[in-house]
């Protein structure tokens, strides 16, 4: 590290020479400016003062707090490390957070989504009625476990990447950071609950869910989107702008997963499985809602040139993703769709009914996805590349 | 990112790689895309209405590995430990397998050769950076994760906002300034540790879960403190600078801003952030709980202590595990000592003696600004605990620093 | 399930939904564990062979409670400002309620999610996908509300 440190004794001497420490040693306990400084509004270094909220039936919410806070949410973060409505003296440092514009992270329903997320946290070990699991016919347990195996391995991913963007957001937009933290907690719990479900009823984990795609990749001449373009889209990682993640994961990917969960609830045969899917779909719907409404906010509030660029990017991402991995391939994963079909049918005798259910499901999934694109401000009813009807 | 670069602003404190923008490649004509989608092998496959490997593979322990193994729930619910005991993968192996996003519960497909698996999941990918057990694991990680979830603050059930009490304006101001510091401290922790989660290999899923809980705790604390500060007649206070001294530098060094492909130092980060920094916050919270605050505010501090104590415990166990299992133990001790020194030097001056933290706390302890002297007297009496608790934790973690620590054992004031 | 008193009501009627409301509001603790629920819902019982005309009921969920129940005329329904509508033929409602009565809560084939997933027999819809998504976001609470039918002695009078 190349730094030499003082010995403990030297260090203590150094500390004793600090101006505030000298004062305290001399018995001078006069508090600094913080005790009397006027608030920012009055040109002082204190943040804000006189905020009062009377608790309502749901206690004190961010909606209440923000209504009472006269300073409001700025369009551009001031670069302070203190939370919004805090203050700083002119000589205190400012920092350049990578995401400092409100439109880069905000959404109109953010405060209420955050409250809902805080209020609807749950615990996989104890909030799921595990004791109400019932033995399933072996092929049904196998099908359910195969589906759950897929969910178990994909669910944690947002928690791997979201913290990078959280760190980049100016603290003036704390609600955005806080909401994203709830999503991280949610996704972690999803990996956990599905992992536990695998071993709760005797099925165990199934086939590695993406092995087929690795062993039998789509031959180049049949790839709808060239390999290089698909590689580009893998840049939905945290090294890229947040908007790309908002679309690819929160709007498209999680919208499909939300529907998978709803299908899971549909298929569950006992109160335990029903409850698992009901809980996870509630969480997932919040993530999709944030992703959608945030893109809407972005498109409505970014400066004109940025808005145009964003729209173009969104349509590009949508076209490429719908035709490729995040959209079509996900909806065609045999380790997801085939177990669906089996579970919906209940047995081999009735299997065509299962395929019929899966086809109806497909139509709904695509319709809802398109409804969300429209709500976000980039309608794709006529341009969507996902077929409106299932190709099976 | 933005067009105008304001003068004299510094880059954000917690280093993080810059965000790129995608440069689109042209897409093929729509008709060609649609045609190829129609011919997609998976679509063709599904259209045959036959079931594939998942349905036909024997349930004999090869590809389908644990048929017939069921965990029983106990009084504490269905915990990781109960699952792990029947999973055939109770403990992670010493070296992470070559896969991304794949927990140790699922058997790797035998059809994927080692060469192929290295190609689909190169070592130089975030999720495999921390793929050795000694780099990421801790003993009883499953139990720690369960505790983190079971004891997490459930504000909807436990916070009675109607019991919040008005304080005198000066005490409210002291409370708000102290809480403003706490919010900044929690946010700093979240920023510094959050991005590490994605670097931990999936076979250590309990560690990932635990860290996700930790991230959530910090933010939940921010949320609850913000509500408290912004609703009781006061408001958010003045920015506190310098409380992250030493720790920030260690964390940035440990992460390298998450740029490039290289080994990150989870242990160094947890030593500075969880053991030392959270340890200091924990002691400040204990002091605040015993100060002249309302019983409503006291419960806040108590809950935060519980959560913070878990973070400290995780840090200690991480360091301990690393020290016990790292192949190059002597080098590790040298490195961790160096990290500790850097963090201690910064924290002693910037955090433990930060006037923007100590002054409001002294007012809260004394009961009024004019009684701050009584607060300082309490702080003086308490001071040996800052040093003592930290040294005791390091002893337990196997990194004794008695006689060498830069946190003075007696108050310098 | 705790039944403090016997609730009786005819279905469909505002009184029946109000009986569910009464049960929900008597069990705040149970609903607190599920989290806030905020929705303006319209439950629609569609005419079928057994019932002659459509009936609509506006139900307002706020925090942990149900704060309003009333029958809506078509004009009322337009002005109600719904987040989502859940609609099913009388026969499907009847089957669901009888199922809940028989099992103490909806069985696997009669949960709201199951009945509405494929748009039949129930259909979940609204004017704004984001407001429809509220149903998914708070589904446990709505299922719990409907499961309250287990405690309501229901007579069917289409
Ligand atoms: Fe999820
Ligand atoms: Fe999600």
Contact assignment for C35 to B157 by CB distance below 8 Å: no
What is the reported pLDDT for A284?
Answer: 97
What is the reported pLDDT for A1?
Answer: 47
Q: What is the mean pLDDT of residues A282-310?
A: 98
Q: Give A234 Cα–ligand 2 centroid separation in angstroms.
A: 18
User: What's the pLDDT tens digit per position in A9-66?
Assistant: 999 999 999 999 999 999 999 999 999 999 999 999 999 999 999 999 889 999 999 9
Chains that touch B (3 or more CB pairs under 8 A): A, C
Rounded Cα gap, residues A159 and A187, in angstroms: 6
Name the class of domain B133-397: mainly alpha
Task: Tell whether omega for the bond before C121 is within 30 degrees of 0, i.e. cis.
Answer: yes
Residue closest to B23 by CA, chosen among A229, A243, A227: A229
Ligand nearest to the CA of A151: 1
Residue A25 lies inside a defined structural domain of this protein: no
Contact assignment for B157 to C32 by CB distance below 8 Å: yes
What is the reported pLDDT for B310?
Answer: 94
Query: How confident is residue B125, by pLDDT bands cut at 50, 70 and 90?
Result: confident
What are B74's strand-pairing partners?
Answer: B77
Contact assignment for B157 to C33 by CB distance below 8 Å: yes
Contact assignment for B341 to A126 by CB distance below 8 Å: no
Q: What is the mean pLDDT of residues A169-192?
A: 98
Chains that touch C (3 or more CB pairs under 8 A): A, B
A-chain residues near C134 (CB < 8 A): 285
Residue in B34, B187, B362 nearest the CB of A29: B362
Q: Give B52 Cα–ligand 2 centroid separation in angstroms.
A: 28
What is the reported pLDDT for B157?
Answer: 81
User: What's the pLDDT tens digit per position in C4-57?
Assistant: 578 999 999 999 999 999 999 999 888 988 888 989 999 999 999 999 999 999
What are the sequence ranges of the domains in chain C?
11-149
Distance (Å) from the alpha carbon of B224 to chain A's nearest alpha carbon: 9
User: What's the pLDDT tens digit per position in B151-163?
Assistant: 889 888 889 999 9
What is the reported pLDDT for C3?
Answer: 46
Query: How confident is residue B100, by pLDDT bands cut at 50, 70 and 90?
Result: confident
pLDDT score of B6 more than 60: no
Contact assignment for A281 to C128 by CB distance below 8 Å: no
What are the sequence ranges of the domains in chain B?
133-397
- Which chain A residue has its CA at the smallest distance from C133's CA? A285
Domain C11-149 part of CATH 3.40.50.300: no
How far, in Å, are C7, C21, C28 from residue C149 at the CA level?
Answer: 9, 10, 16
Contact assignment for A292 to C138 by CB distance below 8 Å: no
Query: How confident is residue A235, by pLDDT bands cut at 50, 70 and 90?
Result: low
What is the reported pLDDT for C4?
Answer: 55
Rounded Cα gap, residues C124 and A172, in angstroms: 38
Rounded Cα gap, residues A228 and A40, in angstroms: 51
Residue A197 lies inside a defined structural domain of this protein: yes
The structure tokens 């060498």 sit at B404
C-chain residues near A265 (CB < 8 A): 111, 113-114, 117
pLDDT score of A230 more than 90: no
Q: What is the mean pLDDT of residues B137-163?
A: 91
Residue in A262, A271, A289 nearest the CB of C137: A289
The H or E element spanning position C44 is strand C39-46
Q: Give A184 Cα–ligand 1 centroid separation in angstroms.
A: 9
Query: How confident is residue A259, by pLDDT bands cut at 50, 70 and 90?
Result: very high
Rounded Cα gap, residues A116 and A120, in angstroms: 6
Is the ipTM here above 0.95?
A: yes
pLDDT score of A327 more than 90: no
pLDDT score of C2 more than 70: no
Mean pLDDT of the residues in chain B? 94
C-chain residues near B157 (CB < 8 A): 32-33
Residue closest to A332 by CA, chosen among B143, C117, B41: B41
pLDDT score of B313 more than 90: yes
pLDDT score of B59 more than 90: yes
Q: Give C76 Cα–ligand 2 centroid separation in angstroms.
A: 37
Q: Assign residue A275 the CATH number of its domain.
A: 1.10.620
Distance (Å) from the alpha carbon of A82 to chain C's nearest alpha carbon: 30
| DSSP conformation class of B195 | G
Query: How confident is residue A229, by pLDDT bands cut at 50, 70 and 90?
Result: confident
Least confident interval from A177-191, B242-256, C78-92, C107-121: C107-121
What is the reported pLDDT for A388?
Answer: 96
Domain count, chain A: 1
Q: A340, A358 in Cβ contact below 8 A?
A: yes
Q: Give A187 Cα–ligand 2 centroid separation in angstroms.
A: 6
Q: By three-state DSSP, how is residue B15 classified?
A: coil
Helix extents (H) in B194-294 = 205-229, 247-255, 266-270, 278-289
What is the reported pLDDT for A3?
Answer: 66
Choose, out of A38, A66, A75, A205, the residue to mutate when testing the contact with B (most B CBs < 10 Å): A205
Contact assignment for C136 to A127 by CB distance below 8 Å: no
Choose, out of B166, B230, B244, the residue to mutate when testing the contact with A (most A CBs < 10 Å): B230
B-chain residues near C33 (CB < 8 A): 157
User: What's the pLDDT tens digit per position in C122-154?
Assistant: 999 999 888 988 999 999 999 999 999 999 999
- C-alpha dihedral over A239, A242, A246, A249, to 10 degrees? 10
User: What's the pLDDT tens digit per position in B330-342?
Assistant: 999 999 999 999 9
Of residues B4 and B124, more confidence is placed in: B124
pLDDT score of B258 more than 50: yes
Contact assignment for C35 to B156 by CB distance below 8 Å: yes
- Which chain C residue has its CA at the smallest distance from B154's CA? C33
Residue in A268, A286, A371 nearest the CB of C129: A371
Chains that touch A (3 or more CB pairs under 8 A): B, C
- Which chain B residue has its CA at the smallest distance from C29's CA? B157
What is the reported pLDDT for C12?
Answer: 97
| DSSP conformation class of B231 | T
Residue closest to C156 by CA, chosen among C103, C93, C89, C69: C93
Strands A95-96 and B10-11: parallel
Query: How confident is residue B5, by pLDDT bands cut at 50, 70 and 90?
Result: very low
Give me the total of CB pairs closer than 8 Å, taking one residue from chain B and one from chain C. Answer: 5
Q: ∠ at Cα B218 (B217, B224), nearest 5°?
A: 85
Residue A79 lies inside a defined structural domain of this protein: no
Question: Rounded to two decimals, what is the model's pTM?
Answer: 0.94
């Amino acid at each position: 590290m190349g730094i030499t440190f003082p010995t403990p004794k030297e260090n203590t001497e150094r500390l004793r020479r600090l101006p505030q420490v000298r004062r305290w040693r001399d018995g001078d306990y006069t508090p600094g400016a913080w005790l009397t400084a006027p608030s920012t509004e009055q040109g002082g270094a204190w943040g804000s003062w006189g905020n009062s909220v009377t608790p309502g039936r749901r206690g004190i919410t961010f909606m209440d707090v923000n209504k009472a806070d006269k300073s409001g949410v700025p369009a551009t973060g001031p670069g302070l490390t203190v939370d919004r409505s805090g203050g700083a003296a002119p000589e205190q440092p400012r920092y350049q957070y990578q995401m400092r514009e409100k439109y880069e992270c905000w959404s109109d329903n953010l405060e209420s989504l955050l409250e809902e997320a805080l209020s609807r946290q749950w615990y996989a070990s104890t909030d799921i009625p595990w004791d109400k699991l019932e033995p399933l016919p072996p092929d049904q347990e196998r099908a359910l476990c195969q589906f759950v195996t897929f969910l178990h391995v994909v669910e944690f991913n947002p928690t791997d990447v979201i913290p990078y963007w959280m760190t980049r957001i100016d603290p003036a937009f704390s609600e955005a950071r806080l909401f994203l933290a709830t999503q991280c907690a949610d996704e972690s719990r999803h990996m956990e609950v599905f992992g536990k479900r695998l071993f709760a009823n005797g099925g165990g984990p199934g086939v590695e869910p993406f092995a087929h795609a690795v062993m039998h990749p789509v031959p180049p001449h049949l790839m709808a989107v060239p390999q290089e373009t698909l590689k580009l889209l893998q840049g939905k990682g945290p090294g890229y702008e947040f908007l790309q993640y908002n679309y690819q994961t929160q709007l498209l990917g999680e919208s499909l997963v939300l529907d998978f969960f709803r299908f899971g609830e549909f298929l569950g045969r006992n109160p335990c499985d029903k409850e698992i899917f009901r809980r996870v779909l509630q969480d997932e719907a919040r993530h999709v809602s944030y992703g959608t409404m945030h893109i809407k906010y972005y498109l409505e509030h970014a400066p004109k040139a940025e808005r145009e660029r964003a729209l173009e990017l969104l349509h590009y991402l949508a076209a490429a993703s719908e035709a490729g991995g995040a959209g079509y391939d996900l909806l065609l994963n045999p380790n997801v769709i085939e177990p669906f079909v089996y579970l919906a049918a209940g047995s081999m005798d009735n299997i065509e009914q299962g395929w019929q259910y899966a086809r109806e499901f497909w139509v709904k999934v695509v319709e809802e996805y398109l409804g969300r694109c429209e709500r976000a401000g980039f309608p794709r009813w006529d341009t969507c590349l996902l077929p409106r009807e299932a190709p099976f | 990112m933005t067009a105008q670069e304001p003068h004299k602003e510094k880059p954000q404190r917690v280093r993080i790689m810059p965000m790129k923008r995608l440069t689109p490649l042209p897409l093929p004509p729509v008709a060609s895309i649609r045609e190829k989608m129609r011919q997609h092998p998976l679509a063709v496959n599904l259209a045959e209405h036959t079931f594939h490997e998942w349905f036909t593979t024997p349930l004999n322990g090869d590809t389908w590995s644990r048929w017939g193994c069921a965990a029983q729930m106990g009084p504490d619910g269905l915990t990781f430990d109960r699952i792990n005991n029947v999973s055939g993968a109770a403990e992670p192996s010493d070296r992470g397998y070559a896969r991304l996003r794949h927990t140790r519960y699922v058997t790797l497909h035998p059809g994927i050769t080692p060469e192929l698996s290295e190609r689909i999941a190169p070592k130089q990918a975030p999720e495999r950076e921390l793929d050795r057990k000694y780099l990421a694991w801790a003993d009883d990680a499953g139990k720690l994760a369960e505790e983190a979830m079971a004891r997490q603050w459930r504000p909807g059930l436990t916070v009675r906002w109607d019991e919040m009490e008005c304080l005198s304006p000066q005490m409210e101001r002291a409370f708000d300034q102290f809480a403003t510091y706490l919010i900044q401290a929690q946010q700093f922790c979240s920023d510094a540790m959050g991005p590490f989660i994605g670097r931990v290999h999936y076979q250590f899923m309990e560690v990932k879960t635990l860290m996700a809980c930790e991230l959530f705790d910090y933010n939940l604390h921010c949320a609850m403190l913000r509500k408290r500060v912004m609703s009781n007649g006061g408001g958010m206070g003045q920015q506190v600078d310098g409380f992250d001294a030493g720790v920030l530098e260690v964390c940035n060094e440990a992460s390298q801003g998450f740029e490039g492909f290289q080994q990150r130092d989870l242990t160094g980060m947890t030593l500075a952030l969880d053991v030392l920094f959270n340890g200091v916050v924990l002691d400040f919270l204990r002091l605040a709980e015993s100060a002249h605050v309302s019983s409503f505010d006291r419960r806040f501090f108590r809950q935060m202590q519980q959560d913070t104590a878990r973070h400290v415990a995780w840090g200690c166990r991480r360091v301990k595990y690393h020290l016990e299992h790292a192949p190059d133990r002597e080098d590790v001790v040298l490195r961790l000592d160096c990290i500790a020194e850097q963090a201690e030097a910064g924290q002693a001056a910037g955090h433990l003696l930060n006037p923007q933290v100590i002054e409001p706390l002294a007012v809260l302890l004394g009961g009024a600004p004019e009684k701050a002297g009584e607060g300082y007297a309490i702080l003086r009496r308490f001071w040996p605990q800052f040093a003592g608790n930290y040294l005791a934790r390091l002893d337990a973690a196997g990194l004794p620093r008695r006689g060498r620590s830069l946190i003075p054992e007696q108050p310098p004031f | 399930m705790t039944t403090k008193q016997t609730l009786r009501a005819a279905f469909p009627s505002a009184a029946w939904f109000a009986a569910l409301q009464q049960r929900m509001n008597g069990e705040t603790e149970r609903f607190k564990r599920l989290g806030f629920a905020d929705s303006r819902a319209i439950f629609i019982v569609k005419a079928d062979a057994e019932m002659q005309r459509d009936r609509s009921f506006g139900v307002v969920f706020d925090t942990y409670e149900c704060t309003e129940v009333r029958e809506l005329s078509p004009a009322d329904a337009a002005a109600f400002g719904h987040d989502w509508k859940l609609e099913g033929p009388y026969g499907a409602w009847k089957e669901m309620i009888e199922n809940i009565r028989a099992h103490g809560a909806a069985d696997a084939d009669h949960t709201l999610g199951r009945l509405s997933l494929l748009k039949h027999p129930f259909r979940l819809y609204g004017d704004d996908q984001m407001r429809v998504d509220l149903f998914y976001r708070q589904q446990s609470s709505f299922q719990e509300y409907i499961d309250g039918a287990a405690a309501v002695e229901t007579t069917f009078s289409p």
